[in-house]
Amino acid sequence: MDLNEALLTVADAVDIVLWPVALDFKRKHVEAMDDNEIAVSFINGAVRLDEQCEMVELLRRKSQLIVAFGACAHLGGIPGLGNFYSKKTIFETAYANSPSLDDSAGTLPQQRSQVPEGELTLPKFYDTVQTLDQTIDVDYYLPGCPPPPDLIQSAVEAILTGNLPEKGAVLAPAKALCDTCPRADSKPERLSVDDVRRPWEIKIDPETCFLAQGLICAGPATRTGCGETCIRANQPCRGCFGPVADAGEQGARMLSMVASILGVDGEDEMSDDQVQRLIDRIADPAGTFYRYSLPVSTLKRKRIQGLGGQE
């Protein structure tokens, strides 16, 4: 939780009953609890395997409150970009076509395999990455990759004091990152860029708005609350806090923002060729605009029959 010594205060106030990365509790210990016995579960990660689905359903039954912790549980996160592909394509890429494979026979993982010692099993790999609230009912969201300690601390305090906002709230400020960005004063009223650049291609001015330098920054479409971490490290925002409150879809907002910039060159309209040249300069536009939020976007996929799992 990145709380440093404040973790001791939390540990004094609560009994921790499951913490897989730090303490040796097992699933059977949770199964033995009464329903609603856990006051709150913080759950990180998206859901892609049947065992993850079973575990979060179990925790939902045993918990009074569920907090989706971090970008993957909240929005699908980087693993959610897997939704641009099917399970079949992912398996073929990883297990049959990867140039670094030792076994190029195309052996794919099987849910059940017989070996001399007995049967080996693997969890079922779903075709689609789901967010936590696409799998179970979620009470609150702590955004970020990772959520910053001050927001975690506020959330824990709110839970301990019973001072929680309305169910479904994202436990972070409602403004956009641009509203709190130290470079906001240098963001021109009307943005126009003559080129789209990537961070490694230029010497980045540490004071000037990234968009004004031709670098794609997700700040206008992203909720604030992270402390402008990337901006202060002289890197554009990538959008891990998710959409601004009530602003609809983050990726569509990014797309619309970039489209409005790319249409103008100073006071003049750009020609179609100029616009196309700039669009071609955006590496992986869909992956850039939906970097953390593809599973919650309104972009839908074609259903492919016969792949098994939820689709």
**Residues in touch with ligand SF4 (CB under 6 A):** 177-178, 181, 183-184, 187, 209-211, 217, 219-220, 222, 226, 228-231, 236-241
CB atoms within 10 A of CB 124: 15
> Residue 38 or residue 231: which is nearer to ligand SF4 going by CB?
231
| Under 8 Å between Cβ of 74 and 68 | yes
> Residue 127 or residue 228: which is nearer to ligand SF4 going by CB?
228
Supply the minimum distance, in Å, between the C-beta of residue 193 and ligand SF4. Answer: 12
Pair type for strands 63-69 and 38-43 = parallel
Locate tokens 């479409």: which residue? 221
> Residue 55 or residue 254: which is nearer to ligand SF4 going by CB?
254
Strand order from edge to edge, sheet including 63-69:
38-43, 63-69, 140-142
Supply the minimum distance, in Å, between the C-beta of residue 199 and ligand SF4. Answer: 12
Supply the minimum distance, in Å, between the C-beta of residue 219 and ligand SF4. Answer: 2
Supply the minimum distance, in Å, between the C-beta of residue 8 and ligand SF4. Answer: 26
> Residue 159 or residue 236: which is nearer to ligand SF4 going by CB?
236
CB atoms within 10 A of CB 182: 12
> Residue 38 or residue 252: which is nearer to ligand SF4 going by CB?
252
CB atoms within 10 A of CB 284: 11
> Residue 181 or residue 196: which is nearer to ligand SF4 going by CB?
181
Q: How long, in residues, is the chain?
A: 311
Supply the minimum distance, in Å, between the C-beta of residue 155 and ligand SF4. Answer: 17
Alpha-carbon gap, residue 59 to 61, rounded angstroms: 5
Greatest CA separation for the chain: 74
Supply the minimum distance, in Å, between the C-beta of residue 282 and ligand SF4. Answer: 15
Alpha-carbon gap, residue 288 to 15, rounded angstroms: 41
Cis peptide before 173 (omega within 30 of 0): no
Alpha-carbon gap, residue 197 to 281, rounded angstroms: 7
Residue number closest to ligand SF4, CB atom? 219
